[in-house]
């Protein structure tokens, strides 16, 4: 298996139309090894014969419920499970996740959401960091490149070190590039849960960070302020 | 304890009043009798002296004037005058048995002067010629002489005072005891009524003078408990029904949404067909939101939605919600401004963060949805330390909330029977209703303020 699209997926739902629709969506997105089951018994047989890499499991099935089935399954198989159910109570969600499911999606769902969650599980399980594509450890902002491994800002053969706090702030912003990250999220990322009172300190760190990554820190082009909310790292195409 | 004192005080005063009233009536009756009898008696005294004065010595012997005879006949049946030796020197209508005696010795005179003469009540008066004796009919008058040692008479005021005081004490004591007994009998009933207020089950001992009342209260309590059980069952059934329906709708809706999305992404279709598919998907998402709202509002209404209470920062939550809206690509025609006081920034609240986030999102979402041409949204928050609550104001300068929506929200405070009327034409207010329910579930208050120049203003108060 060299790609998530080669993963074997088992779709368990008693509703034929749903099985057809979901397999159709998956096939259209490039997944080719698909199998379906309409009951717990059939699902158990398919897990043994088809040996899926991921199972999409409904909760209400004609010969039992998905939770009990998963409980039994976990005694002899570790196949990742994504619940796809019309049961939307918090308790159902918690039961499913508590049994060790990798995710829980309620019907009706957006196809994109299903695909994103499913690929996230597959990547996490079969292509963790280091095994698949190399993790992105650099960030390019115009002429400057930030290397998160070394904690250095490099430009035109020169380099300048970032402090641990500046690096933490920049990482958080880079993870949400293009989006506003609130003061609270930034402070929490750097100082942990008990962050209240660090807002002013955060401003000092942002000012220093701008001095290192911006061409003109007084008119920042990359690290922008969202007034009253937090900061945002501009996507490259939006930057001046 | 307060009630006991009240009852005792009332009892004692009532006892005093009753006794005072009875004494007054008795005294009045006695006074009337005395006045009547003394009037008669003084008349007699006057008359005997008068009669005596009418008995004169005419030189030919003693003679009673016609006026004297009239006076005498009015009250007496016979009369005689005894001289110094006790001999009868004049008489009128004297009974034969007395006349026969002719004279009375000193002991005999002393004996009858105060009492009776041959069973005739007799009255005497000193006359110039001796002693005038007048007799009334046998059995018409009862005579009594009162004699007491003077020493007892002297002690009388003190004795009377002692008697009055000890009577008052005894009356108070008995009244207080009666009051206490009544209070003891009433206390379980009082406690029972208080328990009824708190919807607690009752089991009052059915004995004593108020046993009937206790039995009625026990029955009422059982009836109320049964009604509450039935109401709970009904509410639960309704919540489960809504939950079941929403569950059943989810699978077909998933199919509609999934296929609509596939059609929307199908490049082989015409732009118009894809646009129509997009509208089907959007409306399906709206139905999903409505199902979730319906489920949540029914759970909140029937208190079957337990709050997951935890400590959180409302300022951070509001910043995150605003950032989410902006990150999701809010058009530039919308602007969200946050005005937080310094105290609010550091405030921690105990509450269900997810539910409150839902409420805040509903309010911001309403401003965006109902103002398609854009608007300026302001979220102001401050802390009222004295009242131990925080005040949030969600305001926009858009179209405002229709009066009808406000009316419907207000009506929903009324009992079901009231607002059940004419629901067909009611606007949909589920979003605002959920906000209200969530805020109230946290012990807070939501109020739609009269708009300024335009737009809508919603104030929320949350305790901390």
Looking at residue B415, what is its pLDDT? 43
Which whole number is the average pLDDT over B316-332? Answer: 92
A142-146, A180-184, B305-309: which is most confident: A180-184
Residues 89-148 of A with CB under 8 A from B: 89, 106-112
Asked whether residue B27 is domain-assigned, the answer is: no
**How much is the pTM?**
0.61
Q: Cβ B251–A15 below 8 Å, yes or no? A: yes
Average pLDDT over residues B56-65: 84
Interface confidence, given as ipTM, is: 0.75
CB-based contact B336:B324 (threshold 8 Å): no
Assess if residue B241 is contained within a domain: yes
- What is the reported pLDDT for B340? 92
Nearest CA in chain B to A226: B323
Do residue B260 and residue B332 come from a single domain?
A: no
Residue A236: pLDDT band with limits 50, 70, 90: low
How far is it, in rounded angstroms, from Cα B10 to Cα B402?
59
Query: What was the pLDDT predicted at A51?
Result: 93
Looking at residue B428, its pLDDT comes to 63
Asked if B334 and B286 sit in the same domain, the reply is no
Beta strand pairing call for A81-85 and A103-106 = parallel
Looking at the complex, report in whole angstroms how far the Cα of residue B193 sits from the nearest Cα belonging to chain A. Answer: 40
pLDDT value for B359: 93
* Alpha-carbon span B321 to B328, nearest angstrom: 11
Look up residue A7 and give its DSSP letter. S
Q: Which residue of B251, B294, B322 is the best one to mutate when testing the A interface, meaning the one whose CB has the most A CBs within 10 A?
A: B251
Instruction: With respect to residue B18, please indicate whether it lies within any of the assigned structural domains.
Output: no
Q: What is the DSSP pairing of strand A81-85 with strand A54-57?
A: parallel
Compute the distance between CA of residue A239 and CA of residue A232 in angstroms, rounded to an integer. Answer: 12
Query: Cβ contacts of residue A55 below 8 Å, gap of 6+?
Result: A9, A10, A11, A12, A43, A47, A79, A80, A81, A82
**How many domains is chain B partitioned into structurally?**
2
Judge whether B367 lies within some domain: yes
Tell which wins on pLDDT, B419 or B127. B127
What per-residue confidence (pLDDT) applies to A240? 45
**Greatest alpha-carbon span in chain A:** 68
- Together in a domain, B279 and B389: no
Query: In whole angstroms, what is the distance from residue B214 CA to residue B206 CA?
Result: 5
DSSP letters along B103-147, please?
B--HHHHHHHHHSEETTEEEEEEEETTEEEEEEPPTTS-------
Tell me if B109 is assigned to some domain: no
Alpha-carbon radius of gyration of chain A = 23
Give B-chain residues touching A15 at CB under 8 angstroms. 251
Which of helix, strand or coil describes residue A213? helix
Q: d(Cα B79, Cα B124) in Å, to the nearest integer?
A: 10
Q: What DSSP string describes B275-331?
A: HHHHHHHHHHHHHHHHHHHHHHHHHHHTT-S----EEE-HHHHHHHHHHHHHHTT--
Residue B322 forms part of a structural domain: yes
What's residue B418's pLDDT? Answer: 43
A24 contact residues in B (CB cutoff 8 A): 262
Residues B361 and B451 in one domain: yes
CB B287 within 8 A of CB B253: yes
Residue A14 is predicted with a pLDDT of 92
Do B323 and B440 lie in one domain? The reply is yes
The helix/strand/coil state of B203 is coil
All domains of chain A, ordered by start, with CATH?
4-126 (3.40.50.2300), 138-238 (1.10.10.10)
B456 has a pLDDT exceeding 80: yes
In this predicted model, what pLDDT tens digit does every residue of B189-216 receive, in sequence order?
A: 888 888 888 877 788 888 777 788 888 8
Point out the residue among A179, A183, A228 whose CB comes nearest to the CB of B327.
A179
**Given B299, B320, B347, which residue is the final one in a domain?**
B299
* Rounded mean pLDDT, B361-377: 91
Assess whether B317 and B405 both reside in one domain: yes
Q: What is the pLDDT of residue B235?
A: 82
Q: Could you tell me the CA-to-CA distances from A171 to A20, A174, B236 in Å, in that order?
A: 41, 5, 49
**What is the C-alpha to C-alpha distance for residues B186 and B180, in angstroms, rounded to an integer?**
10
pLDDT band at B9 (very low <50, low <70, confident <90, very high): confident
CA-CA-CA-CA torsion sign (A40, A44, A46, A51): positive
B315 vs A contacts (CB less than 8 Å)? 184
Distance from CA of B388 to the nearest CA of A (A): 20
Given B267, B299, B331, which residue is the final one in a domain?
Answer: B299
Sort residue B307 into left (φ over 0), alpha (ψ -120 to 50) or beta. Answer: beta
Pick from B339, B249, B230, B345: which is nearest to B288 by CA?
B249
Interface check for A25 against chain B (CB to CB < 8 A): the answer is: yes
Helix (H, G, I), strand (E, B) or coil at B76: coil
How confident is the model over B14-45, as pLDDT tens digits? 888 998 999 999 999 999 988 887 665 545 55
Q: What range defines the domain where residue B250 resides?
A: 211-299
Return mean pLDDT, chain B: 85
* B248–A86 C-beta distance less than 8 A: yes
Nearest-Å Rg of the Cα atoms of chain B is 52
pLDDT at residue A36, as a whole number: 95
Q: How many CA atoms lie within 13 A of A98 on its CB side?
A: 8
What pLDDT is stored for residue B44 in this prediction? 52
Tell me: pLDDT of A135 over 60: no
Please report whether residue B379 resides in a domain.
yes
Q: Are strands B376-384 and B389-396 parallel, antiparallel or unpaired?
A: antiparallel
In this predicted structure, what is the pLDDT of residue A198?
83
Same domain, B316 and B284: no
Provide, as residue numbers in chain A, all residues whose Cβ is less than 8 Å from the Cβ of B250: 86, 88, 106-108
Which of the residues A26, A27, A175, A182 would you substitute to probe the B interface, choosing the one with the greatest number of B C-beta atoms within 10 Å? Answer: A182
Instruction: Give me the total of CB pairs closer than 8 Å, taking one residue from chain A and one from chain B.
Output: 90
Say yes or no: B323 and B406 in one domain: yes
CB–CB of B248 and A111 under 8 A? no
- The answer to whether residue A57 scores a pLDDT higher than 90 is yes
Which of these three, B275, B299, B323, is where a domain ends?
B299
Residue B405 and residue B430 share a domain: yes
What span, in angstroms and rounded, lies between the C-alpha atoms of A15 and B100? 143
How many Cβ atoms from other residues are within 10 Å of residue B369's Cβ? 10
Mean residue pLDDT across chain A: 88
- Residue pLDDT, tens place only, B278-308: 999 888 988 888 888 888 888 887 766 778 8
Task: Enter the tokens of residue B111.
Answer: 């004996």
Q: pLDDT category, B324, cuts 50, 70, 90?
A: very high
Query: How sure is the predictor about A119, in pLDDT bands with cuts at 50, 70 and 90?
Result: very high
What is the structure's pLDDT at B204? 83
Residues on chain A touching B346 (C-beta within 8 angstroms): 196-197
| Closest chain B residue to A17, measured at CA | B255
> Nearest CA to CA, how far is A144 from chain B (Å)?
25
For residue B39, the model assigns a pLDDT of 60
- The CATH number linked to B382 is 3.30.565.10
Report residue B415 as tokens.
């009992």
* Chain B contact for A14 (CB, 8 A cutoff): no
Instruction: Give the mean pLDDT of A29-36.
Output: 92
Contacts of B288 in chain A (CB under 8 A): 108
The pLDDT confidence band at residue B166, using thresholds 50, 70 and 90, is: very high
**Rounded mean pLDDT, B78-107:** 90
User: Domain check: are B436 and B458 in the same one?
Assistant: yes
Task: Give me the pLDDT at residue A132, please.
Answer: 47
CB-closest option in B288, B337, B338 to A108: B288
Statement to judge: residues B270 and B314 lie in one domain: no
Query: Per-residue pLDDT tens for B388-443?
Result: 899 999 999 888 887 777 777 776 654 444 444 445 555 567 788 889 999 999 99
State percent of chain B over pLDDT 70.
Answer: 93
| Residue with the larger pLDDT of the pair A82 and B388 | A82
Cβ atoms within 10 Å of A128's Cβ, excluding its own: 10
A85: enclosing H helix or E strand: strand A81-85
> Within a domain: residue B396?
yes
Whether the upstream peptide bond of residue B65 has omega within 30° of 0, thus cis, is no
Q: Are B383 and B423 in contact (CB under 8 A)?
A: no
Cα–Cα distance between B437 and B14 in angstroms, integer? 54
Assess whether B339 and B406 both reside in one domain: yes
Query: CB-based contact (8 Å) between B284 and chain A?
Result: yes
Which pLDDT value is given to residue B38? 65
Look up the CATH number of the domain holding residue B220.
Answer: 1.10.287
Find tokens 């994504």 and name the residue.
A82
Average pLDDT over residues A84-102: 90
């Amino acid at each position: 298996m060299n790609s998530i699209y080669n993963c074997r997926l088992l779709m368990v739902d008693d509703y034929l139309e749903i099985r057809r629709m979901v397999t159709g969506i998956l096939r259209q997105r490039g997944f080719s090894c698909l199998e379906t089951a309409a009951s717990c018994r059939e699902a158990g047989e398919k897990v043994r014969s088809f040996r899926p890499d991921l199972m999409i499991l409904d909760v209400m099935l004609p010969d039992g419920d998905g939770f009990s089935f998963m409980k039994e399954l976990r005694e002899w198989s570790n196949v990742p499970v994504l619940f796809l159910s019309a049961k939307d109570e918090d308790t159902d969600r918690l039961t499913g996740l508590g049994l060790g499911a990798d995710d829980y999606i309620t019907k009706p769902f957006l196809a994109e959401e299903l695909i994103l969650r499913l690929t996230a599980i597959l990547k996490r399980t079969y292509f963790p960091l280091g095994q698949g594509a190399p993790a992105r450890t650099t960030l390019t902002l115009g002429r400057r490149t930030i290397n998160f491994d070394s904690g250095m800002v490099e430009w035109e053969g020169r380099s300048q070190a970032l402090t641990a706090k500046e690096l933490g702030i920049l990482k958080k912003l880079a993870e949400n590039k293009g989006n506003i990250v609130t003061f609270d999220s930034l402070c929490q990322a750097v100082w942990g849960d008990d962050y209240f009172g660090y807002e002013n300190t955060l401003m000092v760190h942002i000012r220093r960070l701008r001095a290192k990554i911006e061409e003109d820190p007084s008119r920042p082009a990359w690290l922008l302020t969202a007034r009253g909310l937090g900061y945002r790292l501009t996507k490259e195409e939006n930057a001046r | 304890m307060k009630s006991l004192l009240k009852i005792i005080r009332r009892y004692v005063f009532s006892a005093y009043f009753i006794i005072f009233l009875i004494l007054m009536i008795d005294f009045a009756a006695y006074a009337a009798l005395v006045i009547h009898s003394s009037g008669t008696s003084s008349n007699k005294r006057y008359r005997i002296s008068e009669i005596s004065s009418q008995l004169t010595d005419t030189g030919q012997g003693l003679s009673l004037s016609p006026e004297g005879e009239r006076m005498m006949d009015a009250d007496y049946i016979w009369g005689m005058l005894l001289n110094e030796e006790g001999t009868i020197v004049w008489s009128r209508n004297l009974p034969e048995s007395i006349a026969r005696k002719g004279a009375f010795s000193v002991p005999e005179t002393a004996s009858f002067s105060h009492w009776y003469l041959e069973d005739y009540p007799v009255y005497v008066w000193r006359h110039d010629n001796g002693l005038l004796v007048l007799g009334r009919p046998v059995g018409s008058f009862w005579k009594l002489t009162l004699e007491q040692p003077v020493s007892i008479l002297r002690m009388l005021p003190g004795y009377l005072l002692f008697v009055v005081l000890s009577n008052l004490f005894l009356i108070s004591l008995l009244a207080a005891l009666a009051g206490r007994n009544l209070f003891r009998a009433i206390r379980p009933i009082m406690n029972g009524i208080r328990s009824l207020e708190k919807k607690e089950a009752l089991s009052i001992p059915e004995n004593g003078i108020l046993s009937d009342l206790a039995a009625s209260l026990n029955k009422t309590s059982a009836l109320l408990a049964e009604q509450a059980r039935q109401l709970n069952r009904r509410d639960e059934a309704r919540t489960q029904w809504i939950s079941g329906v929403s569950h059943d709708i989810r699978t077909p809706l998933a199919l509609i949404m999934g296929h609509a999305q596939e059609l929307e992404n199908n490049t082989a279709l015409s732009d118009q067909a894809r646009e129509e598919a997009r509208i089907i998907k959007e409306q399906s998402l709206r139905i999903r939101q409505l199902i979730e709202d319906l489920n949540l509002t029914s759970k909140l209404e029937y208190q079957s939605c337990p709050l997951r209470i935890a400590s959180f920062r409302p300022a951070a939550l509001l910043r995150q919600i605003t950032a989410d809206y902006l990150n999701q690509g809010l058009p530039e025609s919308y602007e969200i401004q946050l005005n937080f006081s310094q105290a609010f920034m550091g405030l921690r609240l105990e509450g269900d963060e997810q539910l409150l986030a839902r409420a805040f999102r509903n309010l911001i979402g309403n401003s965006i949805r109902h103002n398609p041409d854009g608007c300026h949204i302001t979220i102001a928050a401050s802390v009222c330390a004295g009242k131990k609550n925080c005040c949030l104001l969600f305001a926009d300068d858009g179209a405002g909330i229709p009066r009808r929506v406000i009316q419907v929200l207000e009506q929903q405070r009324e009992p079901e029977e009231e607002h059940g009327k004419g629901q067909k034409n009611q606007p949909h207010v589920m979003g605002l209703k959920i906000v209200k329910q969530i805020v109230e579930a946290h012990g807070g208050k939501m109020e739609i303020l009269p708009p300024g120049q335009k737009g809508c203003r919603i104030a929320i108060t949350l305790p901390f």
